[in-house]
Each structure stands twice: as structure tokens, then as C-alpha cells.
Amino acid sequence: MASTNCWRCLARPSQRLLLAPVSVAAASAPTSATFSTSAQQLSSKASSDGSKHIRSGKRLVLGRKKRNPDRTKPPQPGERKAFRKRIQLSNDNALKVPGLDVLSSEGVVNPESVGKIFGLPVEVVDQLRACEAFKSSQNWSLFRSPHTLVRKETVDLAKQMTDAIEKKETLRLVLTGNRGSGKSILGLQALATGFLNKWVVINIPEGQELTTASTEYAPTPNSEMFSQPVYTVKLMQAIHQTNHQVLSQHKVQLDHMQLPISVTRNMTLAGLLNATKEPDFAWPVFQAFWKELLLPGRPPILFSLDGLAHIMRISEYRSPAFELIHSHDLSLVRMFTDALGGKTAFPNGAAILGVTAKGNAPMIPSMEKAIAQAAAAQKGEEPPSRDPFFRKYDERVFDTLRGVKVLDVRGVSKTEARALMEYWAASGILRSRIDERSVSEKWTMSGNGVVAEMERVVLHDLRET
Amino acid sequence: MSSLRYGIRCLRPRPSSTAKQWPSLISSTQSRDSAPRRALATTTPRRQDDSALTSALEAMESSSEGVITTFARPMPVSPAYFSRLPQFNDSFVHVQELARKYARLPTLHPSQVERVAWKTKEQYRITIGEHVKARDYATCIALVKRLNQIHPDLMPEEVKAGLRPFKRDINIYLNQPKPIPVDKFGRSHGVGKRKSSVARAWLVEGTGEVLINGKPMNEAFGRIHDRESALWGLKTTERLDKYNVWALVGGGGTTGQAEALAMAIAKALVVHEPPLKTPLRRAGCIARDPRTVERKKAGHIKARKSPAWVKR
Amino acid sequence: MASAVQSMRLCLRAASRRAVTPAAVASRPRLAMRSFSATPFQCQPAAEKDDLSEIENEIEEIDASEEIDPAELQRALELMQQDGDFKKARQLQERVITSIGSNFTEAMRSSERPNRFWMDGEPDSDLIHAETNPDRFDEDDILSLGHAKFEEFREYREYARIAAWQMPLLSKLATPFEAPTAKEPLRFRYTSYMGEFHPAEKKVVVEFSPRDLPLDEAQQQKLRKLLGSRWNPETDIAKMSCEQFEHAAQNKRYLGDLVNKLVAQAKDPTDMFEDVPLDTRHHTFKVKPKFPKEWRMTEERQRFLEDTRQKALLLDQAKEEEGTLVNGAEKVNAFFNPPITTPKIADMATARLSQSLSKPPQRKHQPLMRR
């Protein structure tokens, strides 16, 4: 009868016999092998719930709360991320702001439109959404429909882009600026300008996605590069969706014999993009598409990337030799850096935009130094020299950013701030009189008109009331 | 007998020294009187004890009479000499006399009298070195204040002199704060403190730009509340778009820095616009907040927290 | 003890019968006996009292008669040694003396010891007596404490005299400051502890600027590179110290030699270190924020400010007149309580009036907005 002894609670067998009738039944079961516990366990399982541990004596129960198992389904894989990345572009609770113009290709370059709020055209909104230009950190969901403030920088940038493209030149430009100063919004406005002007717009919404080893990668045959097939498919779909109207007017001109899919001459570029959804074929097809775009007579290109710092460092991918791959060895990134570095010739004119980020960005000393040098060269000043005793400068970053233009985004002026606040007030967010005094106050509080800070200050007031 | 001898020694006039006095006394006793020599011996004579002593004392007095003075000790100047608080008692009595004497002189209303810094009880105690009772000093100083209300044109010299021991050496009410100038660039400078932070602010007319340690507002203070409290003086007086602020802040944390800055800006603003002092004071920007971290005490874990009580 | 005395007395008696007893032999034991005999002679039997007095008399006689015949003494001694009684007595006496010798010396010492418990009878050389004899104080002098006070005053006065009379004379020794000339580019610093010994006294520090040395531009640059972290890039001053030798002069000599060597190396044209960048990693450059110059109040600035203020005022006024001045609260109210007339923004005034009258219904509509 040794097995009747409960080894866990170390109760005396006699006591246990008295207190636990269930085990008594078990004990009375035929005991063929007294030293074996298996039969015992089996029999006890039959009589009672075997998973329940039986204790003798009084038990202290704290709180008779019954745990209700959550009947709701757990979120599907990817559902949480989708919720996190959800972009809400309209809010029915917000007031409609009447009397605002819609952004047009002429309005963007017009200096008179500085300091005015413009609505984005519906088709452009769709295109921007398709190319993921809107970000969840931007408070689009507070307003009834997407509107943007046209700032001095916006007009400046749009003018630079249109001028360069008119002259069939390439504008290579990096947007820098303090945190929350509106760099990404300016990038969005540039993209909108591209859509309005019927350019081919290619947007990589997050440079981070390419280098943090979050998408698949594969070595490209006959080269030391690595392609990212799944991301390329996604990008091709986005390009097809956004630029369908432009690309369907142009037909394939080259023979693409090496492609795994058959490409005929009467195929449009849009058809070429849409020809395959197979990740294995994605990179060659995208390369063919890029070659077609660079032919003379094609529409101008606007190539933009947000989060420049992420593609200026060593990526988290590993080569077959288990060495970290430099981001510039990823073929898609290489395509962008070649374009930004001026290695690619664009016969139809192009604008290459690199948007830096301050929030989620690694510190890249080489990039900072290269941008500082480029900015100084732009102003005609003596470029700051590199630190001679710093070893980790990346020559490829310097090559990429050599000779780029730098647009430093700062706080908005007071007239722009006033327009912005009037828009907010008209949308019902800001419930106060908007006059010069209140505008000036918010402008000062936000560190001389840093847009994101202005928003914070205004919402801070809202919270108090 | 030895105690007697000591008593006699004490009685002798001060300037002369015993060493010379006694022999002369003895000699004079011998020469002038016919008193027996035994009277001054330490061994007690068996008969006519008292008579011998008295005769000795008489002899001594008669001898010292011609030598120095008629007094055995100097006369005290004041009749209060043997009281516990001679100086205070003197001046108290004097003040009482003055008050009685000049009770009918015309007085000014207390609000019209020029403010005088009177000595506090502790200060008075220290200056005269007597432990004056609080109640006595209070009654005395009330009389003094009453006397001080006498019209300044009719104030007798006697009263002025009588009040002097109760006045502080330096009348703090005559102090004038040093005016802060607006410099040639139109800047005014103000210093503010809070907790362990110190802020210096230069205020110049402008468009409402703020630079703190060379940085814009949003970089200097991450919290909007701090930004607001730093510019509170300008905000409440609606001067936010009229001035530019250039400030240097150091020490302490963000809250302390922001509130130190509020004080500095308010002080600098008062230089530009003195009538704003009252509204700024009401906004709580002028007064220094004296609260700081309380020091840790021995036997405590923190300033006040005691170690956990353990039985035995 | 008594028996011993007895036997000795017998012995002496025998000797005295012979009428020849050496004084030294007889007197010494008697003295010793007396000094520490516990039983006095009075306890002798009365019958023998005559004997004792007899012996004493005899001894006195012997002592009195100083002339002793040596031959007779010799004979007496021989007789005594032959006598058994004497021998015994002699042995006993010796034994007694040796046994109590230690006691005797103890007794001798204890006679020197003061009889007081606290040893205060003995003069203590360590103890300083302010008054050796207090009774003898004539009361014609102050106490030693007073004397010490006087000494202190004297010292003060002495220094005061020095300050008044001798210090001004020091100005005669003063030499006017002469700025170091171009020929003296080195600046040495020594440390003095005013005659006290200190281990840091030997330290010497030299400061110089490469610009002041007789070098051209390239050589100066080379010198800066050679100096390494001893060179301050902000002030362009190099600072070196030495305390490895025993005396300051030696250290100074070393530093001078070192500077000479450095200059010589800097002048050496074989390798000018042009490929080596100037290292400033040892120094952190401090950026001091400066008041912006464009904020300075000038007349121009004043005009600009007045202009902007005027413009701002006019803008507000114009907007108000135009009716385009946006008020967020009014906008929200206007949305929830739409005016009955044509919904134009220009009719804000009437709208406001109606709102102020009908506030409760506005409250009712509030949940609509939430939804």
C-alpha cells in the first residue's frame, strides 16, 4: 500500500484514507503489483479526474473568482500589425471645412499658395494610399478628408522637381530637418506633385523594411547582389496600381529574351509589371521594367525613399559566408542609391528623393557628415572635413550622397501656422479663437513652429478643457 | 577665626595690596592703640573675645581712614546695578519716564511714520548681554513704538536718544533695490531660481522667439507643461509675441529649470514694464519658491523615514 | 631566636672570662640581633639580669681599653675555636644572618619608602607646580595664566610693529613687472611651501605657445603634432610638467632640454609629418551659446517689429470685419445648432446670439458629436 501515500503533499496514508474517499476506491482496486504505480494511476483516472491533485486538509482559497475563458477569437496572425498600421484618412465626426482649394499641379509650384491649406484630390489620395505615403503616426484620422498645408518648402521642392524634369535633368535631393518638422509630409507632397504631373512615382515607404531582415532575400545569379523577391512583387503591385494610367500608355520596346516570362512588344509597361506575381521572377522583371523606364521618351520618374539612414548602413542580412551584407549590396537598395548617387542616367528627367527620419533612425556618422558636406557645398561654404581619427566612415555612403541637394525643413512661419490652426479650428479640433496672439503663443510653445510640436501643444490644450 | 580673617581681607580697600597693608595696620595698631598684640593672633584668647575683635576692627578702620578714601568700595553708577538686568531696567525706566513726560505731544498715524527697524528680542539680548524677558521687552518696545509716533518736527532730542538703543544699526527699510538696467542692445537681464536650478534670462523686444541654452523650446523642454510654465509670466501678461527670450539654464531637473526660467523671465519683464510686477506676482512668477530637498537625517533612511521597527 | 641569643651570650661570657673579646665580633651580632629580635631582653629571667649587666660592663670596659695585644688576641681566638659551644653559636649566628638577610634588606628599603599611601610626600619631578609654596605667595604678582596672556599681547604687538615699520620697507625691494619679451617664450611655474618640506615642491611646469617659438608655419604644425595631448587646440598653448628629479632646478633643466629637443625635432626637415592629421581628440571643444545678433535692438529692428505688430493687428481686424476669423468653439456650435437662415459663415453674429439663448439644447446635442 505504499502507493497510497501522496508524494506531493506528504500526507499520512491513514489520514488520506479517511479524507479522500476517491482514493479509497482506488486503494480498494485489485493490487496485483504493490510496488507499481501505473495500474494505480490508470484506475484512479477511470474513477476521477486524473489531472486534479487531491489534497487533504483545509485549503485556503483566496477570492472565489471564476475565470471565464476568453470566448473571443485571438487575433489572426498579422491582424494586430494590420491594426497598428491602419491608415484612417477620414473622420465623420470632424467638421467639413468648406472653401478650401484642391491641390493641382499648378498650385503646388505657385508661390502664392504658400500658407494655404489644400485638399488632396481623391484619385491622388488613392494613389498615395496605395504607395503607402500616409503614415499611421500622422493624424489624418482627425479630419474629414486629407488636406495639407502648402509651405514655402513645398513650393520650393515642387519647383525644383518640375524645373529639373522639364530640363530632362535629375534632381537628387535629401530632405533633412529636426524631429517633427514635417519631412515625411513634405515627401508626401512631393509624391502628390508627381502624381499630379503624371510622372512615374516609385515610393519605398520605409527604408527600414529593406534592411532589417524582415523580408525574404535571395542571391542574384552572376552577381554579388541580393534581391528581395517578395518585397519586389509588392512594390511592383504598388507601382502598377498607382501609375497604371501613365504606364498603360507606353509599350515595351526592348527584347527581354532572358526573362523567365514571355514579354511581347505590344505589352504595355503596366502589363509588364503585372505580368508576374511569382517572387522568383520578380527581380528580373522589375529590372526589365526599370530598363524600359530609362529609355528615352518614357515618362519622368520620381523615386522616393523614406528613412534614409536605414539603407546607409550594414543590413541585418547574412551572406552565405555568414557575413553581414552591406545595405548597398541589396539590389533594390542599390537601385535607389545609384539613382541618388547620380550613377544612373535618366534621359527623361527624374527626381530622386531621400527623406531622413529622426524618430526611428540609427546614428550614421558617415551619412551625417556627407549631408553636412553636401549642405555646405550647396551654400558655397567650406565643407566640414571628416574626423581624421574616426575609422568607421563608410565610403559608399559618401559616394551616394556626393553632390546631392539638401533641403533642410524647419518650423513653419507664423502665417503658415495661422492657416494650419484655422484649419484645425474649422475642423472642430481646436475650440478657440484663432487670432495673431493665440497663433503666436502656440508657435512659440512649439519651438518656433515645429509642426508636430504645434499639434501636441494644441492637443495639450484640448486635453485640459 | 580664619573665616573672620578672610572677611577682614575682603573689606580692605581695593587699590592697596594686602602684603603691605597688614604690616602697616599691625604697626599702626601697635603704635596708636594700647590693644594687646594677642588680638590678632590666630589662637583664640580665652577671655574678652569679642571686645578684642571689635577693637581690632576699629583700629583697622582708623588706620585706613587717612590712607585712601572714605568708601570701602566704589559706588555703582545706576541704582539698578544689583538687579539682574541693569541696562535694560535703566532704559526701560527711562522709556517709561519719557512716555509719561511726552504723552501729550502730537503723534502721527502709524501708517505715516517712517519705518524703523527695531531690534528683535534676540538681537537686543545679544547687544546688551542680558537675558531680557520676552514679556518685558514686548511692553518696552510697545512704549518705544508709541514714542516713535511723535511728530518728527516736535520730537525732543531726549526721546531720540532714548530710542536709540532699541534701533537696529542698519535700517533695512531704507535699502533700495539696485535698478536693473536695459542694456544697449535693448536686453534686460533676470535671474531666477527654483529647487537647485538657476536660470538667467535676457529679454529683448521681438516676435516671440525663445532660445534656451541655444536650443529652441521643443528641444530644451520635452514636456509641454514645462514649456508653458517656463513662459508663464509672458503668457499671463499676454506678452508672448512681444518679446524674444534668450536664456541659460543649469542645474536640477526639467521642472526646476522651467520654473526657474519662469522667475527669471518675470524679473526681466518687470525691468521692461514695471507696472507688470503685481500681476506677475499674482501669477506666482516673482516670489522664489523656497522649497528644496530636505536633508537626510542621521538615524533615518531618508529625510523623515525611519527604519522599520523590529521587535528586539 | 631566644635560644640563639642565649647561646651567644654564653659564648660571649666565656670569652669575656678570658678577658679577651674582639669588639667587632661581639658588637656586630648584638646589633643585628637587636634590630630584629622579636622578643625583648626583658623577657630574660630576672636571675640572669646581673649577668647581662655584668657582660655589658665588661664590653664597655673592653671598648674603653683600646689597646689589645695581638698575641693575646690570637690566643683567645684559638681558644674560642677549640671551644665547642662557641663553634655552635657561631654557626647558628651565621645561619640566622643569612636566613634573615633578605628580610633585613627589605626592612632597610622600607625605611626609605614614604609612609603615605598616595606617595605625596615624595617630590615629583614631572609635576609642574605653579606655586612651589602656596603659602609663600606674596600676592604681589599675577598668575602664570596672566603672564601667558601678556606674552600673547607682546607677540601681537611685535607683529604689529613689524607690519607698521618693516613691511613698508619691503616696497623698496619691489621690482616693476616686465612683460616677457619675445626672447622669453617659456613660462615656468614653481611651487613653494614657504620653507616647509613638501614632496610637490620639486614640480616644475612649463607653458609655451608654438607660435612664440622661432619656427615657421610648417615647423609649428609639426611641433603641435609632436606635442600631442599636451597641446590645447583652443588656446594654442602647450603645457608640460616634470617632477622626476629631486630638485626643482633639475626638473627645470630637464624641461628646458626637452623643449630644445622638441624645437630641434620640429626644425628637422626630414619628415614634416604632413601626412599625419592634427589630433585633437584629447580636447573637447565647448560650444558656448551666443545671443543672436539679429535680435539686438536697433532702430531698424524697432521699425520692423512695429511693422509686424501693426500688420498682425490689421490682419486680425480685417479678418474680423470680413468674418473669416475662425473661432473653433463657434464653429462647433454652429454645426450643432445650424442657423435657420441660409447657412453662411457671415451670419455668425446671429448664430452666436441664438446659441447663447439656447444653451441647454446644445448640451443635448453633445452626444451626437461623440457618436
Residue range C39-46: mean pLDDT, rounded: 46
Closest-CA residue in chain A for B228? Answer: A445
Across A394-398, B180-184, C74-78, C97-101, least confident range: C97-101
Residue pair A303/A339 in contact (Cβ under 8 Å)? The answer is yes
pLDDT value of position B105: 93
Q: Closest approach of chain A CAs to the CA of B245, in angstroms?
A: 10
Contact C287 B214 (CB under 8 A): yes
Say yes or no: A350 and A438 in one domain: no
Mutate to test the interface with B, among C291, C298, C303 (most CBs of B within 10 A): C291
Mutation for A interface: C224, C311, C326, C336, most A CBs within 10 A: C326
Give B9→chain C minimum CA distance, Å.
12
**Architecture of the structural domain at C186-267:** 2-Layer Sandwich (3.30)
Residue A420 and residue A403 in one domain: no
CB count in 10 Å sphere of residue C63: 11
Grade residue C95 by pLDDT with cuts at 50, 70 and 90.
confident
Q: Do A433 and C369 touch (CB under 8 A)?
A: no
Q: Which residues of C touch B202 (CB under 8 A)?
A: 291
State pLDDT tens for residues A61-79: 777 777 777 788 888 998 9
Positive or negative, the CA dihedral B144, B146, B147, B149 is positive
Distance from CA of A87 to the nearest CA of C (A): 20
Q: What is the pLDDT of residues A158-205, one digit of tens each?
A: 999 999 999 999 999 999 999 999 999 999 999 999 999 999 999 999
Same domain, A400 and A434: no
pLDDT class for C366, splitting at 50, 70, 90? very low
Question: Same structural domain for residues A162 and A307?
Answer: yes
Q: Is residue A291 part of a domain?
A: no
Answer yes or no: is A236 within a domain: yes
**Do A237 and A364 share a domain, yes or no?**
yes
Based on the domain organization, do A425 and A399 belong to the same domain? Answer: no
Burial of A99 (0-12, 13-18, 19+ CB in 10 A): exposed
pLDDT band per the 50, 70, 90 thresholds, residue B145: very high
Buried b (16+ CB within 10 A) or exposed e, C104-137: eeeeeeeeeeeeeeeeeeeeeeeeeeeeeeeeee
Residue-range definition of the domain harbouring residue A447: 414-462
C-alpha cell at A374: 553636401
Kindly state whether residue A141 falls inside one of the protein's structural domains: yes
**Measured distance CA(A454)–CA(B109) in Å, rounded:** 57
Please state, as a whole number, how many other Cβ atoms lie within 10 Å of the Cβ of residue A279: 18
pLDDT tens track for B86-106: 999 999 999 999 999 999 999
Model confidence at A353, pLDDT cuts 50, 70, 90, reads very high
> Is the distance from CB of A144 to CB of A106 less than 8 angstroms?
no
Mean pLDDT of chain A: 86
Does the pLDDT value for residue B304 go beyond 90?
A: yes
Asked if residue A417 lies in contact with residue A439, where contact means CB atoms within 8 angstroms, the answer is yes
- Nearest-angstrom CA–CA distance, B219 and A450: 11
Measured over the CA atoms of residue C159, residue C165, residue C170 and residue C176, the dihedral's sign is: positive
Task: For residue A57, give every residue at least 6 positions away whose Cβ sits within 8 Å of its Cβ, in sequence order, or none.
Answer: A11, A19
Under the banding of pLDDT at 50, 70 and 90, the label for residue A52 is low
Q: Of A434-443, B47-56, B96-105, C80-89, which gets the smallest average pLDDT?
A: B47-56
Residue A24: beta bridge partners? none
Q: Is the pLDDT of residue C367 over 60?
A: no
DSSP single-letter state for residue A445: H
| Phi/psi of residue A219, nearest 5 degrees | -70, 140
Report the residue count for chain C. Answer: 371
Distance, in Å, from the CA atom of A404 to the CA atom of A164, rounded to the nearest integer, reads 13
C-alpha–C-alpha distance, residues A221 and A204, integer Å: 24
- Cα separation, C137 vs B117, in Å, equals 55
B219 to chain A: closest CA residue: A447
With an 8 Å Cβ cutoff, are C332 and A432 in contact? no
Facing residue for B186 by CB, picked from C140, C297, C308: C297
Model confidence, pTM: 0.67
Distance CA C226, CA C186 (A): 17
pLDDT score of A53: 65
User: Nearest chain C Cα to A421, which residue?
Assistant: C326
Mutate to test the interface with C, among A92, A95, A416, A440 (most CBs of C within 10 A): A95
Q: Find where cell 609635576 sits.
A: C127
Contacts of C248 (CB under 8 A, 6+ apart): C190, C201, C202, C203, C204
Mean pLDDT of chain C: 75
Tell me whether residues B218 and A436 touch, CB distance under 8 A.
no
Q: Which is more confident, C325 or A299?
A: A299
C21/C58 Cα distance (integer angstroms): 10
Task: Answer yes or no: do B19 and C290 touch at CB < 8 A.
Answer: no
Backbone angles phi, psi at B270, to 5 degrees: -65, -30
CB A170 within 8 A of CB A164: yes
Q: What angle do CA C215, C216, C221 make, to 5 degrees?
A: 90
Query: What percentage of chain A has pLDDT greater than the value 90?
Result: 65
C329/A389 touch (CB, cutoff 8 Å), yes or no: no
Alpha helices in C228-298 (DSSP H): 248-267
Query: What is the DSSP secondary structure assignment for residue B51, as one 8-state letter?
Result: H
Query: Does residue A25 lie within any of the structural domains?
Result: no
Cβ(A157)–Cβ(A189) under 8 Å?
yes
Residue A173: closest CA among A335, A345, A302, A351? A351
> What pLDDT score does A450 carry?
93
For C311-350, give the DSSP string. Answer: HHHHHHHHHHHHT---BHHHHHHHHHS--SS---GGGHHH
- The CA-based diameter of chain A, rounded to the nearest angstrom, is 101
Q: Say if residues A354 and A190 touch (Cβ distance below 8 Å).
A: no
Q: Residue A204 is inside which H or E element, if any?
A: strand A200-204
- Beta-carbon neighbour count of residue A390 at 10 Å? 11
Closest to A383 measured CA to CA, from A395, A368, A397, A396: A368
Quote the cell numbers at residue A368.
551625417
Residue B223's closest CA among B258, B193, B190? B258
Residue from the list B219, B224, B238 with its beta carbon closest to the beta carbon of A460: B224
DSSP for A207-225, written as a single string: HHHHHTT-S--EEPTTSS-
Give chain B's largest Cα–Cα span. Answer: 114
Count CA atoms within 13 Å of residue C181 on its CB side.
1
Contacts of C292 in chain B (CB under 8 A): 211, 246
Cell of A49: 479526474
Beta-carbon contacts of A245 under 8 Å, excluding residues fewer than 6 positions away, are A198
Query: Which residue in this structure is represented by grid cell 524703523?
Result: B116
For the four alpha carbons of C222, C224, C225 and C226, in that order, the dihedral sign comes to: positive
Residue A262: what pLDDT?
85
Cβ atoms of A212 and A316 closer than 8 Å: yes
The answer to whether residues A314 and A437 belong to one domain is: no
Structural domain spans, chain C: 186-267
In chain B, which residue's Cα lies nearest the Cα of A453? B218
Q: Where in chain B is the domain with CATH 3.30.230.10?
A: 182-283
List, for residues B156-169, the tens digit of each pLDDT value: 999 999 999 999 99
Whether residue A322 is found in the same domain as residue A447? no
Q: Does A180 touch chain B (CB under 8 A)?
A: yes
Contact residues, chain A, for B219 at CB < 8 Å: 178, 447
pLDDT at res. C345: 55
Segment among A196-205, A267-276, B36-45, C176-185 with least mean pLDDT: B36-45
Q: Nearest by CB to B218, which of A436, A453, A460?
A: A453
SS3 B245: strand
Q: What is the per-residue burial (b if ≥16 Cβ within 10 Å, else e) of A208-245?
A: bbbbeeebebeebeeeebbbbbebbbbbbebbbbbbbe
Q: Assess whether A364 and A456 both reside in one domain.
A: no
As for how many domains chain A has, the answer is 2
The sign of the torsion formed by the CA atoms of C120, C123, C125, C128 equals: positive
Q: Do B241 and A460 touch (CB under 8 A)?
A: no
Nearest to residue A135, comparing CAs of A213, A32, A209? A209
CA angle A381, C282, B214 (to 5 degrees): 50
* CATH architecture assigned to B182-283: 2-Layer Sandwich (3.30)
Read off the pLDDT band of A461 (50, 70, 90).
confident
Q: Note the pLDDT of residue A172.
A: 95
Provide the residue type at A237 as one letter. Q
Q: What is the mean pLDDT of residues B170-184?
A: 89
| B286 pLDDT more than 80 | yes
Question: C54 vs A418, which has greater pLDDT?
Answer: A418
Residue C98's pLDDT is: 64
DSSP 8-state class, residue A261? S
At residue C115, the pLDDT reads 55
Q: Is B239 helix (H, G, I), strand (E, B) or coil?
A: coil
